[in-house]
Amino acid sequence: MSAPSVTPEDRAAGRVIEAERERRGMPVSELARRAGISRGSLYGYMAGERAMTLGVFRALCDALEVTREEAAESVARELIALEGTEE
């Protein structure tokens, strides 16, 4: 079975998670530990190289203490920004 392909939404979500992590000054290892995922997976999500499930997105939001609504709004804004760069 092949891995799911990465969507623009995955890339936007990864950028949002990375920005929130940096804003809080949280090391990647700590975010991965709190979210219950490997550091390698987290790097893949943040780089937009790995498809992110809703469960992972929720776990990352919880670990960063960001409401899902705030994160979803940030992802929507990031999607608009990404669309502007694809032209």
Residue 43 lies in a domain: yes
Report CA 14 to chain centroid distance, whole Å: 3
Model pTM? Answer: 0.88
Q: How far, in Å, CA of 73 to CA of 76, rounded?
A: 5
CATH number at residue 53: 1.10.260.40
Tell me which DSSP letter residue 47 carries: T
Residue 86: the pLDDT is: 58
Tell me which DSSP letter residue 50 carries: S
Residue 1: the pLDDT is: 55
Look up the domain containing 14 and give its range: 8-85
Q: How many domains does the chain have?
A: 1
Residue 82: the pLDDT is: 84
Residue 83: the pLDDT is: 84
Residue 3 lies in a domain: no
Averaged pLDDT in 10-residue chunks for the chain of 87 residues = 81 96 97 98 96 95 95 94 73
Residue 19 lies in a domain: yes
Residue 11: the pLDDT is: 94
Residue 37 lies in a domain: yes
